[in-house]
Chains A and B, each alone.
Chain A
């Protein structure tokens, strides 16, 4: 078996383990699916009249607008949950056993990220299904839905890289769990839940430059008006930026972890 095929098997096995682990532990799956679904329902019902505000983009319903925000919340928490699970593996010594196995170190991190990507993919399908069940039309059609799925999956992988870096650096599940409020802050300071033009300062200005805003707009546009090349490029660039940041931080954290044991 070639080295590439062998590494792919390792990544696949670790990715499958990561997904199974998430679905077996309610603590890990709840933040990814249950809480964003609950918030989506409540925010849609509670703030649905917002589409009547002057300046709100033309949408079929507030649910149509909010789907991208729910996906974004879910993928961010999938990245955080992936980091927590990796930190638990470090605390329990499982990662040490992987380090001593004849597999490349990067495959260990990639395996975890493959699991996070799978969860992002699942989350995008889940929220698209909810939207369709409750009468949302995807203006970009099948291509628009596929675009949203691809962007959510890629963004989950990118955010998972940051979570993995924190896990490798600290080796503590409670510290990675402590990032949860930070995840919420970054999310609220983006256009995930409301049009940026209608937000209140300073959230409005911060949202304008927040990379998550570019990603969420890239996911939202295919749903509310159709695929827009400019929004898609912005989203891809923002995802690439987070991937690079995650790679650099993960590589440094992995070196640190190998040094301190």
Chain B
């Protein structure tokens, strides 16, 4: 015995993931200027969209008279999209700076490195979501109930993980921060080509067709249900299924790129 403490693999993996999440938290505290746009943007979008498109609720087909309640889940999910994409940009920066190379030569498995990035994004996404929710409630949005709130937060955290997998995949594929617009635009398109601005019946032809097949529509409807009505399992499970599918697909793609990345 040489006296070295050998941790079981699962414990050292957990410690590595916790360290990577801690590093992301430190970035937030030490470089707040870089984080502020991502935190504020969803709230600004919420206030802007509400002020601009609030009168849409007067159209026949809206199931709520409060546009604040209708739009707040979108802004929360948008925050998740921004945060996840930012995780991809940060990974690309780490690749450019050579930091990822140092992680890759460590004994940590590749999936652990990816999990650290993805889970950090999930945790960070709760900050803009909470800010926009607080502002929305102050402006008169309906309180979704504890169950509705928990579902909304679950959708936000999981959507941020999906976005982080997408961002990480692109970062590992292109190895450059120049891919940032693709990370952000991809998420923006995925979240907004849903029933983001209006119910399905009021969307124009092409957008309605896309929204019907876009899995994020199910996520939006699950996150929105408590704000505009009652919470039901029937509205929740399609969202969970959609998230599981997107996570499996994009997680597999990101992990494949991570495994292909050599030092």
Q: Show the binding face of A for B, using Cβ within 8 Å.
A: 25-27, 29-31, 34-35, 38-39, 42-50, 52-53, 174-175, 177-178, 180-181, 184-185, 187-189, 193-194, 198-200, 202-204
Interface centre among A39, A46, A185 (most CB of B within 10 A): A46
CB-based closest 10 A-B pairs: A188-B48, A203-B51, A45-B207, A30-B181, A46-B197, A200-B54, A42-B192, A45-B204, A194-B52, A48-B204
Residue pair A174, B185 in contact (C-beta under 8 Å): no
Residue pair A26, B37 in contact (C-beta under 8 Å): no
Q: How far is the CA of A203 from the CA of B56 in the complex (A)?
A: 15
Shortest Cβ distance from A43 into B: residue: B197
Interface check B40, CB cutoff 8 A: yes
Contact of B177 among A27, A35, A50, A194 (CB under 8 A): A27
Q: Which residues of A are found within 8 Å of B207, using beta-carbon distances?
A: 42, 45-46
Q: How far is the CA of A48 from the CA of B205 in the complex (A)?
A: 10
Interface check B154, CB cutoff 8 A: no
Interface check B127, CB cutoff 8 A: no
Shortest Cβ distance from A207 into B: residue: B51
Interface check B180, CB cutoff 8 A: yes
Contact of B50 among A181, A198, A200 (CB under 8 A): A200
Q: Which residues of B are found within 8 Å of A50, using beta-carbon distances?
A: 53, 55-56, 59
Question: Would you give the 0/1 interface string for B178-218, flagging 1 where the beta carbon is closer than 8 Å to chain A?
Answer: 11111011001100110011100011101110000000000
Offer 25 A-B interface pairs, CB within 8 angstroms, sorted by A: A27-B178, A30-B185, A39-B192, A42-B193, A43-B197, A45-B204, A46-B192, A46-B197, A46-B203, A46-B207, A47-B197, A49-B198, A53-B59, A180-B41, A184-B44, A185-B44, A188-B47, A188-B52, A189-B51, A193-B52, A194-B52, A198-B55, A200-B51, A200-B55, A203-B47
Residue pair B36, A49 in contact (C-beta under 8 Å): no
Interface check B262, CB cutoff 8 A: no
Minimum distance in angstroms from A51 CB to a CB of chain B: 10
Contact of A42 among B37, B44, B54, B197 (CB under 8 A): B197
Interface check B249, CB cutoff 8 A: no
Question: Would you give the 0/1 interface string for B155-182, flagging 1 where the beta carbon is closer than 8 Å to chain A?
Answer: 0000000000000000000000111111
Residue pair B182, A26 in contact (C-beta under 8 Å): yes
Q: How far is the CA of A189 from the CA of B44 in the complex (A)?
A: 10
Q: How large is the interface on B (under 10, 10 to 19, 20 to 34, 35 or more residues)?
A: 35 or more
Residue pair A177, B177 in contact (C-beta under 8 Å): no
Interface centre among B34, B52, B196, B197 (most CB of A within 10 A): B52
Q: How far is the CA of A43 from the CA of B54 in the complex (A)?
A: 13
Residue pair B36, A178 in contact (C-beta under 8 Å): yes
Interface check B111, CB cutoff 8 A: no
Residue pair A26, B178 in contact (C-beta under 8 Å): yes
Minimum distance in angstroms from B53 CB to a CB of chain A: 5
Q: Could you list 17 further interchain pairs (A-B, Cβ under 8 angstroms) beyond the known A35-B181, A50-B55, A193-B52?
A: A26-B178, A34-B181, A35-B185, A45-B193, A46-B197, A47-B53, A53-B56, A175-B33, A177-B37, A187-B48, A188-B49, A188-B52, A189-B48, A199-B51, A199-B55, A203-B52, A204-B51
Minimum distance in angstroms from A249 CB to a CB of chain B: 21
Shortest Cβ distance from B201 into A: residue: A49
Minimum distance in angstroms from A247 CB to a CB of chain B: 27
Residue pair B196, A46 in contact (C-beta under 8 Å): yes
Q: Which residues of B are found within 8 Å of A203, using beta-carbon distances?
A: 47-48, 51-52
Q: How far is the CA of A49 from the CA of B205 in the complex (A)?
A: 11
Interface check B23, CB cutoff 8 A: no
Q: Which residues of B are found within 8 Å of A26, using beta-carbon distances?
A: 178-182
Q: How far is the CA of A184 from the CA of B41 in the complex (A)?
A: 8
Interface centre among A25, A48, A49, A177 (most CB of B within 10 A): A49
Q: How far is the CA of A34 from the CA of B187 in the complex (A)?
A: 13
Given contacts A174-B34, A193-B52, contact A25 B59 (CB under 8 A): no
From 36 to 78 in chain B, residues with beta carbon under 8 angstroms from any chain A beta carbon are 36-37, 40-41, 44-45, 47-56, 58-59, 61
Q: Which residues of B are found within 8 Å of A202, using beta-carbon distances?
A: 51
Q: Which residues of B are found within 8 Å of A185, using beta-carbon distances?
A: 44, 47-48
Q: Which residues of A are found within 8 Å of B179, using beta-carbon distances?
A: 26
